[in-house]
Structure 1
């Protein structure tokens, strides 16, 4: 039921604003919804049809982002080079951080070489 999902989003907004949290309300609501689904699997089954319907139309959620780009076109034109540089640098840093974390975990667990490479004979 969509009402359950929206109810958790509303509760998250209320909690986030009441406690002056730095987390957005929908994130707080999502954490609550996940907790409810873990504690009561019937909740997960109740929202499954609505969640599946929302996910099948996920591309519609990008329309507001596109409208925002058009609405702020002058700002993007003015700061486009800086934004592009920041996006590229943050992407490279995120990939590097992911690779570093993977390597660290692999060393800590003693599995430095992935099993797939061993299966291919790249030992």
Structure 2
């Protein structure tokens, strides 16, 4: 498992460095994940790299199997503050709904603007 986690962290580090030089346009972990996927795909048939592939896959499966543990603290925090949710639940719900509508509206308008500026959208 140590080899697998090391490989994953090395690719994340490479992704972070690439993201730094790209100006943060794409998050480092996303770049690292894409890079490790490409490397694993391209070197999948190489027999000398098979143990490293296997360890990386085992480590990834182990991390994904225990991913739910990361959500336990958030759930405990919600349960600890049920009184706040009870007292301000309507306001929270209203804020969530309003912010969702605003986000969707802005996303649509930005999409339309970009399509028009790129010449891919013509009004009829």
Which residue does the alignment assign to 2:58? 49
Task: Give the gaps of 5 or more residues in structure 2.
Answer: 45-49, 105-124
If the length of structure 1 is used for normalisation, what is the TM-score? 0.54
Which residue does the alignment assign to 1:3? 6
Q: What is the CA RMSD across the aligned residues, in angstroms? A: 3.3
Question: How many angstroms does 1:87 deviate by?
Answer: 4.4
Q: Deviations over 1:34-63 (max 9, x none)?
A: 001111123532301211211110112324
Residue 49 to residue 25, structure 1, CA distance change in 2 (3 Å):
same
Task: Give the gaps of 5 or more residues in structure 1.
Answer: 92-123
Which residue does the alignment assign to 2:69? 60
2:22 aligned with 1:28, yes or no? no
Larger relative contact order (CA 8 Å, sep ≥ 6): 2
Task: Indicate the SS of the match to 1:23.
Answer: coil
> In 2, distance between residues paired with 1:31 and 1:50?
17
> In 1, distance between residues paired with 2:20 and 2:41?
25
If the length of structure 2 is used for normalisation, what is the TM-score? 0.53
